[in-house]
Amino acid sequence: MKAITLTLLVSLALFASNRKNSPPETTPKPESAKKTDSSATVYSRGMAGSVHDFSKQTGRADGGCSACHIPHVQRVRKRPDSKTTDAVTADSEPAVELFRIQGQRQTFVPGRYTPGPTSLICLGCHDGTVASSTIGSSHAMLAGVREGFSVPDGFVWRDHPIGIPYPKNNREYHPESFVTAKGKIRMPEGRMECVSCHDPHNSAGVDKMLVMSNRRSALCLTCHIK
Amino acid sequence: MGSVMMRIVRQVSIVLVLFGCAARVCAQRSVVGSPHDLSVSGPGNLHALHEEQVCIFCHAPHNATGQKPLWNRNMPPTHYRIYRSSTTDARIDQPSGPSKMCLSCHDGALALGLVASRPANEPIVMSRRMMPPGPADLTQDLSDDHPIGFRFDRALFNRDGQLRNPDLLSKELPLGAHNEVHCTTCHDPHDNSLGDFLRIPDRRSALCLSCHDLHGWESSSHAISPKSVSARSVDPREKLPYQTVADNACTSCHKIHSAGQRNRLLRFRREEDNCLNCHNGSIAAKNIASEMRKPSGHPVHRFLGRHDPNEDPRLVQKHVECSDCHNPHASRSQIVNRVDRPGIGQISDTMRFVSGVDRGGRPIDSARFEYEVCFKCHADNASRQLRPTISRQVTELNTRLEFQPNNPSFHPVVAPRGNNDVVSLTSPWRVGSVMRCTDCHNSDSASQGSVVGVRGPHGSIHRPLLIDNYSTGGIRDGKSASLRLMLSLP
């Protein structure tokens, strides 16, 4: 008899503890469904396997680096209007001139923005004229602005401006020092360029090769006070 | 000892003030977490099912529409029904610019997840596809909303006369490129710390009064009344934002969006409801609503949509509304009611800044004498169907002409009389006194001579809207002819 009660008690206790450990039945299902974290989405870090992995196209053993970089070229282009004298000379500094497509104009939208040298490299492919398959895709950012292609009438800039100086003393924007403090967002020569938001090397492993996750628009709100 | 106490009090108050400031700063000032945060983790029932970005519903970094500021929704091609009013001097046009951007969601016509940066067949999946009906859905009928898309410039300021100088408008309330008023003039879509995404607090209608400058408002009862407005005592459908009449100010009677009465953006469609919902004993001191139910009076409930503040009193069709005799923007309670009797017929404070017709029959903007307000209807207006109640030698139905000072005999309403032969006058009436229409035509409750009774020609149990019983047959018994006796009361 005693044994039976003991086992009963034990099983009861076990049942109770099980109930405690198991998630409550009234889980707010929509909540859990809502919280799909972007970190859960599988994006591998690094170049290998990323959309910028051009190893197949180049057919070289360098993993496709040569699509954008060439070794042993210490040539740094500066903005024509730059006042800084000491240019950054890193080994991996892209050889802009080589990879700027012939005939590409400096000024994309007359009188508005002049993308800097780093952005020109990106636009060398991402201006939507490299291949017809890119038209309508995320490559087609600046279609038709290359020399030889006429700028369509009523051409409208549909993208975030690049090549613009980061606003100073503007209460709509965080100070530049705050924005660049974490080292993720870069402002080459104090200007907003493609690499301010995107990391072509995909080191963060975030969707759209962003430098950081844009969950809750965190990337936008690093600069914009909204 | 006293100084120590003072110091403590001062320090405590400083701490409290600092705490208040901190609370203000800490209040939600970002679009993230506001009702405009439609991301999957946004508050409220309306949100995306998977999309984690907040900005993307309105702005996109790439492949936006090309309209500033990186606008990500296609503009609705809708032709809106826009606000019209006989009293506005603004040239109101179809909404444009930023207003149209707001309307791309808030007109309730376009799917919320449809953004330009994504293919039309892959919109952002939302918990609800369209804007649900409610206060945020302005619909495509904007005639019941405060007008937008008009230029608030110096020219309008000069034309209107009840607006403030736009040059002095606060920098916190931005106008468009051509001085147009947009949704974004009053609302900041990114900052909901004040509620309703307002740019400045609307206590005492500070927001409205940044542009509007109404004659007599500052000292009017509606602007200063500390009377409490309990939960839904004014409008059963909407809880007013503040506790007192003065703090609610304009919003006590007006609705800025989805108004019941369109032309004046009034809260209720029937004109008198806007007044009598408070003046029925619930909030205002005097119960006018019960006066209106008396057998003889000014039947405001019989007319709907006929009154127009811009009307010509000589030509307008017969009607009566509260605002025919009162200007709620300027009206203030008459504290001392009868001490000035016998006065010079000056107008009561409850009827400040009301239009009238002077004794020559000319319409005037602001009546100086009470009879000028009465003459708006009871004089030259021909739409009243008149039949004489008493047959007289000279039949005259134009009350203005009946009181002309060049008549052989007249009651001294528009001018005093110099007839020294009137021996029956009782004090304080004397030769040279001037009467008001309301000395005879008034509420029966005013005859008691007390200051509590409701005054004014709203309604009376004695026809025709008399302050007391008037029967010519009663003089003999000494009881009646009380109208005459009443007039002798102090």
The residue ranges of DSSP E strands in chain A, in sequence order, are 164-165, 191-192
Q: Above pLDDT 70, what percent of chain B? A: 86
The first and second tokens of residue B284, run together, are: 């205002």
CA distance B60 to B67: 11
Mean pLDDT of B69-96: 88
User: B112: which residues sit within 8 A by CB, 6+ positions away?
Assistant: B38, B46, B57, B105, B124, B126, B128, B129, B130, B131
Asked whether B307 and B271 are in contact (CB, 8 A), the reply is yes
> What pLDDT, in 10s, does the model give residues A102-115?
444 444 444 456 67
Tell me how close the Cα of A123 comes to any Cα of chain B, in angstroms: 13
The phi and psi torsions of B94 (rounded to 5 degrees) equal: -60, 145
What is the helix (H) or strand (E) element at residue B364, kind and residue range?
Answer: strand B363-364
CA distance B10 to B369: 52
The angle subtended at Cα B11 by Cα B9 and Cα B16, nearest 5°, is: 95
ipTM of predicted complex: 0.72
Nearest Cα neighbor of B326 from B305, B348, B354, B307 is B354
CA distance A70 to A95: 7
**Eight-class DSSP state of B224:** H
Range with lowest mean pLDDT among A69-73, A116-120, B427-431: A69-73
Of A38, A138, A225, the CB nearest to B52: A38
The first and second tokens of residue B5, run together, are: 């106490």
> What pLDDT, in 10s, does the model give residues A3-16?
555 444 445 444 44
The predicted structure's pLDDT at residue B434:
85
Nearest residue on chain B to A154, alpha-carbon basis: B66
Is the model's pLDDT at B214 over the cut of 60?
yes
Q: Is A33 on the interface with B (CB under 8 A)?
A: yes
Q: How many CA atoms lie within 13 A of B340 on its CB side?
A: 15
The angle subtended at Cα B333 by Cα B215 and Cα B400, nearest 5°, is: 75
Mean pLDDT of A131-154: 47
Domain map of chain B by residue range?
27-201, 306-412
User: B134: which residues sit within 8 A by CB, 6+ positions away?
Assistant: none
Structure confidence at residue B343 as a pLDDT band (50, 70, 90): low
Q: Is B61 on the interface with A (CB under 8 A)?
A: yes
* B66/A157 CB distance under 8 A: yes
Q: CB count, 10 Å around CB of A41?
A: 12
Q: How many CA atoms lie within 13 A of B296 on its CB side?
A: 16
Of A33, A156, A160, the CB nearest to B66: A156
Top residue of A220, A221, A222, A223 to mutate, by most chain B CBs within 10 Å, is A220
Does residue B308 sit in helix, strand or coil?
coil
Mean pLDDT of B187-211: 92
Is the model's pLDDT at B198 over the cut of 90?
yes
* B52/A36 CB distance under 8 A: yes
Q: Is B55 on the interface with A (CB under 8 A)?
A: yes
Q: How many CA atoms lie within 13 A of A191 on its CB side?
A: 22
Range with lowest mean pLDDT among A158-172, B204-218, B315-329, B367-381: A158-172
The first and second tokens of residue B29, run together, are: 């000032």
Length of chain B: 490
Structure confidence at residue A90 as a pLDDT band (50, 70, 90): very low
Pick the more confident residue, B185 or A47. Answer: B185
Asked whether B441 and B377 are in contact (CB, 8 A), the reply is no
Nearest residue on chain B to A197, alpha-carbon basis: B61
Tell me how close the Cα of B326 comes to any Cα of chain A, in angstroms: 45
Range with lowest mean pLDDT among A169-183, B8-22, B182-196, B419-433: B8-22
> What pLDDT, in 10s, does the model give residues A201-216?
888 888 888 999 899 9
The predicted structure's pLDDT at residue A57:
67
The phi and psi torsions of B489 (rounded to 5 degrees) equal: -65, 145
Pick the more confident residue, B383 or B413. Answer: B413
> What pLDDT, in 10s, does the model give residues A24-44?
333 333 433 333 444 444 557
* B56/A217 CB distance under 8 A: yes
**Buried/exposed code over A167-180 (b: 16+ C-beta within 10 A; e: otherwise):** eeeeeebbebeebb
Q: Considering chain B, what is the average pLDDT of its residues?
A: 83
Task: Please state the pTM of the whole predicted model.
Answer: 0.76
**Eight-class DSSP state of B58:** T
Report the relative pairing of strands B296-297 and B356-357 from DSSP bridges: unpaired
> What pLDDT, in 10s, does the model give residues B87-118?
888 899 899 889 999 999 998 888 888 988 88
The first and second tokens of residue B426, run together, are: 């009782």
Which amino acid, A11?
Answer: S
* B41/A216 CB distance under 8 A: yes
Does residue B245 sit in helix, strand or coil?
helix
Q: Is B39 on the interface with A (CB under 8 A)?
A: yes
User: B439: which residues sit within 8 A by CB, 6+ positions away?
Assistant: B341, B467, B487
The first and second tokens of residue B166, run together, are: 């736009």
* B52/A34 CB distance under 8 A: no
Q: In chain A, which among 34-63 make CB contacts under 8 A with chain B?
A: 34-36, 38
What is the helix (H) or strand (E) element at residue B2, kind and residue range?
Answer: helix B2-26
CA distance B299 to B458: 8
* B61/A217 CB distance under 8 A: no
Q: Which residues pair with A164 in a beta bridge?
A: A192
Q: Which residues pair with A113 in a beta bridge?
A: A109
CA distance B193 to B201: 10
The predicted structure's pLDDT at residue A10:
47
Mean pLDDT of A64-85: 56
> What pLDDT, in 10s, does the model give residues B279-298?
988 888 888 999 999 999 99
Highest mean pLDDT: which range of A128-137, B9-18, B106-115: B106-115
The predicted structure's pLDDT at residue B181:
93
The first and second tokens of residue B37, run together, are: 């945060």
* A35/B41 CB distance under 8 A: yes
Q: CB count, 10 Å around CB of A51?
A: 11
Phi-psi region of B179 (alpha: psi -120 to 50; beta: other; left: phi over 0): left
Does residue B449 sit in helix, strand or coil?
coil
Give one DSSP letter per residue of B93-136, joined into a string.
----HHHHHHHHHHTS-S-TT--TTS-TTSPPPBSSSSPPSSTT
CA distance B143 to B356: 30
CA distance A201 to B380: 87
Q: In chain B, which among 425-484 make CB contacts under 8 A with chain A?
A: none
What is the helix (H) or strand (E) element at residue B357, kind and residue range?
Answer: strand B356-357
The first and second tokens of residue B94, run together, are: 């179809």
Q: Which of chain B's residues have a Cβ under 8 Å away from the Cβ of A36?
A: 40, 50, 52
* CB-count exposure of residue A154 (10 Å: 0-12, 13-18, 19+): exposed
The predicted structure's pLDDT at residue B436:
86
Asked whether B374 and B400 are in contact (CB, 8 A), the reply is no
Tell me how close the Cα of B62 comes to any Cα of chain A, in angstroms: 4
Please give the span between the terminal C-alpha atoms of chain A, in angstroms, as a whole number: 71
The first and second tokens of residue B16, run together, are: 């409290």
Q: Is A137 on the interface with B (CB under 8 A)?
A: no
Q: What percent of chain A is helix, strand and coil (3-state, nearest 5)?
A: 35, 5, 60
The first and second tokens of residue B183, run together, are: 């949704």
Tell me how close the Cα of A13 comes to any Cα of chain B, in angstroms: 38
Q: Which residues pair with A140 in a beta bridge?
A: A127
CA distance B103 to B386: 52
Asked whether A93 and A76 are in contact (CB, 8 A), the reply is yes
Radius of gyration of chain A (CA): 26
User: B261: which residues sit within 8 A by CB, 6+ positions away?
Assistant: B267, B268, B269, B270, B271, B274
